[in-house]
Amino acid sequence: MVSQEIIRAFKESACGEIDLSSSGLNRYLVDVPFTFTDGDHFVVILRQEDQKWVLSDEGHTFMHLSYDLRDKEYEKGNRRKKIDEVLAQYQIEDKNGELILTIPEGRYGDALFTFVQAITRITDISFLERELVKDTFREDFNALVANKSKEVGIRNVNFGYTHPTFDPQRKYPIDARLNGSPSQQIFVFGIGNNDQCQTATIILYQWEKWQERFQSIAIFRDQTEINKTYLARFSDVAGRQLSSLDSAKERLPRYFTELLTR
């Protein structure tokens, strides 16, 4: 008997945390106890679309993410990849930033918990440290350069290469140096953010100052993210530029071959 009372009290308490209030024609606000880290509750709207009932966040989840990830960091890179994974897993549609889940016939409870769970997981993405997210770019860059070099028969690839004579303190490292011959060396830089763009600019200037002969290629994580002024300075000293890892995958082997046959 006691256990039945506990079960009943538990259910009443849990169910009492969820409420529904009418807000327009065939539209209801679903009040849930689940919150973002700042205490604002998730937005869950139940509404009818055509003949179906759907749950929607009316774009609030991504808007909330934008408070912390202000440079639209949730729209690209690893964060976006993880968001897409969550959406696919829970069969939620992203309609220009509005999250929508179509409720299977009569399964309101299942749908609500699925929807809330997805929002929770998306919200957690804001906790991914910026550097952690971007660090995968470095790994991806290294793997790409190593693989594509191998494809075109370049065996000698050094990551973090520094000048053996002029730079004993290793202050001006090249992200990847291809081909051991000083007369035919190719420097490849991976540029994930503004700081890395500035650093690469300085390094290239320094190697020019040492009167080294080299060809250079820059691969950006997302070139559109780079500050225009920094990019202009970099372009003054850099050779070929690839705007993203995706474009590099396609073009890098051809670039390597062309530069080596110059």
Binding residues vs other proteins (CB under 8 A): 23, 29, 31-33, 35, 37-45, 58-60, 62-63, 66-68, 70, 72, 96-98, 194, 225-230
| Cβ atoms 47, 57 nearer than 8 A | no
Please, which residue, 43 or 145, has the CB nearer to other proteins? 43
- For the bound state, the minimum distance from the C-beta of residue 45 to other proteins, rounded and expressed in Å, comes to 7
Which tokens is 249 given? 């995958």
- For the bound state, the minimum distance from the C-beta of residue 165 to other proteins, rounded and expressed in Å, comes to 35
Task: Give the single-character DSSP code of 35.
Answer: B
β-sheet with 45-49: strand ranges across: 19-22, 27-31, 45-49, 52-56, 98-102, 93-95
- For the bound state, the minimum distance from the C-beta of residue 183 to other proteins, rounded and expressed in Å, comes to 37
What is the C-alpha to C-alpha distance for residues 226 and 163, in angstroms, rounded to an integer? 27
Please, which residue, 39 or 168, has the CB nearer to other proteins? 39
What is the C-alpha to C-alpha distance for residues 11 and 69, in angstroms, rounded to an integer? 37
- For the bound state, the minimum distance from the C-beta of residue 35 to other proteins, rounded and expressed in Å, comes to 6
Q: Is 92 exposed, middle or buried (0-12, 13-18, 19+ CB in 10 A)?
A: buried
Task: Give the single-character DSSP code of 242.
Answer: E
- For the bound state, the minimum distance from the C-beta of residue 221 to other proteins, rounded and expressed in Å, comes to 14
DSSP per-residue string spanning 69-94: STTSGGGSHHHHHHHHHHHHHHT-EE
- For the bound state, the minimum distance from the C-beta of residue 258 to other proteins, rounded and expressed in Å, comes to 31
Please, which residue, 98 or 212, has the CB nearer to other proteins? 98
Please, which residue, 56 or 149, has the CB nearer to other proteins? 56
Please, which residue, 62 or 255, has the CB nearer to other proteins? 62
Report CA 197 to chain centroid distance, whole Å.
18
Please, which residue, 28 or 166, has the CB nearer to other proteins? 28
